[in-house]
């Protein structure tokens, strides 16, 4: 049980309540002067650029190797044997490209917008990636910023900082992993459109990116483990970021643990490192900071050594009594009709959020396998082995053998909570997704939820971030699994309290994913340096707008 940070819990509850969407008008508690949502003159750049650092290109020949497992096998947990060899730059490049790489673009007049390997609310991509490598990775030792625009590495520190990250995470073993990837978030990229609620998006999008990263790692037999808890101040110091306008979100230990490779591992004090003073291009003319977001960020930081020790202690306890079960580590590979046999990289390039869905009925495997694949255990510090922080509520509209209604998925089993005609359930799901037709046009819509009271009481404020990250990962896996069967899916935003009321649950909805049958064939993304142009993207968005206008208002 968490003892520290009572004020932090109050701050995070306040953040959650004040950023909840409601059909009733709310008084905005904070007015940020000069905030005009999506001000084109103050649009943040989607890429961080260091002014003076030299860039080293990453390998670009990333076609899947012969004999690579199919994405269906990987998503079912049938992975190749763990690689005992050290990671080489090509594997690192795959992990980075197929999680955060630029795969498509659309030209809108003078402006180009970039789409990536993973989904992002509003296509705003608030994330940056860094890689801490030892010489063992095949690159010179150092801390690199990943320039996703040019697909290059920019060396931020010329020394191996894995041991310093091990100290910041409170996990000595991290020092012996081949590579440590750190994901950071730049809230302004998403608050620019979504105001304070945008801070939640940082974690959703990070989850989406992590779902890809974990899947690619699994496909190549590379162990990867996530730390959601770390001393934020120390990680920020190592990376040379301020922890407010850019903040650390997750740390990924990549490669077999040191003891398997016979290396020794010893944490090092981050304070031994010089302060970095590197020039970065400005994000936008006047980046805005939202006090509610900064409060939430700081309330969830683990800055004192005792806070990190408390987190690590709580993470080692067995929470099986209250955490729900995850699906098994490995599940049956689906076997129905003509299935796609793409390897993971091809599947990721094929994925694109589905903007229009046909109201069709699908076979049960499209629900049971997709949900099982998405709810397999997440290898993260805060999540007890075989369990989940989440509950999975769903509205089923068009799945053979399942009457339309509201259900709860407890891996392997569906429990019906409420019935209704197909039209009633579709209308309700549309409404819950802020009136977005995709919520009701899907074959089913998943409401990833968590009992925040229990999570905050167990983990303290940092548990809020952990639950959002897990919800983001489940969303990302749902997108991959639906596409693996030739279907489609998209993340959606939602009315918070209305979902609790509809499902009569204590759990708060954290993220929604609609899974269904696409009404068009998405254009596959391209390899590094050759993103595909989405030539008719504006037409697709116009069709989505038309569909929204047809939707009856409640």
First-to-last C-alpha distance (Å) of the chain: 43
Write the binding mask 453 to 482 for ligand FMN: x where contact by CB under 6 A, - elsewhere: ----------------------x-------
Exactly one of 76, 208, 372, 445 binds ligand FMN (CB under 6 A); that residue is 208
Task: Closer to ligand FMN by CB, 382 or 489: give it.
Answer: 489
Q: Tell me which stretch binds ligand FMN (CB under 6 A): 3-11, 204-212, 303-311, 405-413.
A: 204-212
Query: What 3-state class would DSSP assign to 198?
Result: helix
Residue whose CB is less far from ligand FMN, 384 or 442: 442
Q: How far apart are CA 473 and CA 206, in angstroms?
A: 8
- Of 93-101, 140-148, 452-460, 486-494, the segment contacting ligand FMN by CB under 6 A is 486-494
Pairing type for strands 508-518 and 444-450 reads antiparallel
- Taking contact as CB under 6 A, which single stretch among the options 160-168, 203-211, 315-323, 369-377 is the one that binds ligand FMN? 203-211
Give the number of other Cβ atoms within 10 Å of residue 537's Cβ: 19
Of all helices (H) and strands (E), which one includes residue 358?
A: strand 357-358
Q: How far is the CB of 77 from ligand FMN (least distance, A)?
A: 23
Cβ pair 312, 229 in contact under 8 A:
yes
Among 9, 53, 121, 136, binds ligand FMN (CB under 6 A): 121
Nearest residue relative to ligand FMN (C-beta): 491
Q: Rule CB under 6 A: choose which of 300, 458, 493, 523 binds ligand FMN.
A: 493
Choices 82-90, 161-169, 202-210, 545-553; region in contact with ligand FMN by CB under 6 A:
202-210
Q: Which is nearer to ligand FMN, 445 or 490 (CB)?
A: 490
Cα 265 off chain centre by: 29
| b/e code 271-309 from CB counts within 10 Å (16+ = b) | eebeeeeeeeeebeeebbebebbbbbbbbbbbeeeebbe
Interface with ligand FMN in residues 396-455 (CB under 6 A): 436
**Scanning residues 507 to 536, which ones bind ligand FMN (CB under 6 A)?**
511
The single residue among 204, 447, 464, 495 that binds ligand FMN, judged by CB under 6 A, is: 204
Phi, then psi, of 318 in degrees rounded to 5: -90, 115
Q: Is 352 in the site for ligand FMN (CB under 6 A)?
A: yes
d(CA 121, CA 324): 27
| Token output for 174 | 């991290």
Q: Does 119 bind ligand FMN (CB under 6 A)?
A: yes
Tokens of 36: 């005009």
SS3 content of the chain, % helix, strand, coil (to 5): 35, 20, 45
Binding-site ranges for ligand FMN (CB under 6 A): 115, 119-123, 204-205, 208, 352-353, 436, 475, 490-493, 511
């Amino acid at each position: 049980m968490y003892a520290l940070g009572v004020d932090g819990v109050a701050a995070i509850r306040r953040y959650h309540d004040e950023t909840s969407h409601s059909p009733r008008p709310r008084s905005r508690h904070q007015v940020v002067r000069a905030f005009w949502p999506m001000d084109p003159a103050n649009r943040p750049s989607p890429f961080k650029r260091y002014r003076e650092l030299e860039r080293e290109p990453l390998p670009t020949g990333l076609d899947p190797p012969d004999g690579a497992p199919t994405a269906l096998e990987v998503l079912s947990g049938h992975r190749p044997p763990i690689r005992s060899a050290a990671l080489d730059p090509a594997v690192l490049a795959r992990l980075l490209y197929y999680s955060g790489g630029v795969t498509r673009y659309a030209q809108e007049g003078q402006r180009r917008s970039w789409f990536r390997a993973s989904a992002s609310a509003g296509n705003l991509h608030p994330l940056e990636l860094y890689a801490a490598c030892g010489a063992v990775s095949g690159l010179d030792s150092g801390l690199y910023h990943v320039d996703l625009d040019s697909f290059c590495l920019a060396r931020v520190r010329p020394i191996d900082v894995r041991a310093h990250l091990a100290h910041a995470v409170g996990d000595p073993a991290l020092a012996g992993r081949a590579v440590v990837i750190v994901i950071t978030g730049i809230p302004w990229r998403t608050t620019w459109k979504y105001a304070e609620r945008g801070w939640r998006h940082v974690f959703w999008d990070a989850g989406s990116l992590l779902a890809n990263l974990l899947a690619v790692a699994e496909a190549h037999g590379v162990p990867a483990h996530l730390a959601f808890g770390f001393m934020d101040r120390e990680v920020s110091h190592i990376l040379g970021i301020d922890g407010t306008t850019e903040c650390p979100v997750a740390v990924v230990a990549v490669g077999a643990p040191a003891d398997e490779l016979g290396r020794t591992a010893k944490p090092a004090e981050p304070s031994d490192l010089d302060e970095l003073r590197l020039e970065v291009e400005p994000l936008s003319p006047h980046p805005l900071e939202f006090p509610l977001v900064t409060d939430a960020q700081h309330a969830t930081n683990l800055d004192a050594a005792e806070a990190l020790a408390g987190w690590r202690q709580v993470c080692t306890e067995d929470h099986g009594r209250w955490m729900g079960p995850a699906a098994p580590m490995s599940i049956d590979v689906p076997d129905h009709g003509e299935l796609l046999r793409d390897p993971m990289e091809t599947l990721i390039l094929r994925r694109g959020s589905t903007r229009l869905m046909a109201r069709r009925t699908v076979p049960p495997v499209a629900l049971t396998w997709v949900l099982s694949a998405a709810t397999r255990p997440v290898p993260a510090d805060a999540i007890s082995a075989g369990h989940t922080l989440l509950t999975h509520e769903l509205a089923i509209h068009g799945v053979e053998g399942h009457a339309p209604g509201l259900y709860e998925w407890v891996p392997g089993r569906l429990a019906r909570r409420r019935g209704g005609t197909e039209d009633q359930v579709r209308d309700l799901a549309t409404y819950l997704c802020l009136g977005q037709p995709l919520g009701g046009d899907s074959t089913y819509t998943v409401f990833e939820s968590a009992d925040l009271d229990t999570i905050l009481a167990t983990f303290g404020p940092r548990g809020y971030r952990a639950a959002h990250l897990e919800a983001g990962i489940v969303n990302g896996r749902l997108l991959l699994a639906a596409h693996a069967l030739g279907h489609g899916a998209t993340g959606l935003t939602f009315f918070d309290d209305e979902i609790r009321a509809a499902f009569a649950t204590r759990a708060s909805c954290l993220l929604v994913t609609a899974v269904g049958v696409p009404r068009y064939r998405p254009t596959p993304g391209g390899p590094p340096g050759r993103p595909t142009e989405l030539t008719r993207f504006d037409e697709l968005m116009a069709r989505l707008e038309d569909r929204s206008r047809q939707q009856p208002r409640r």
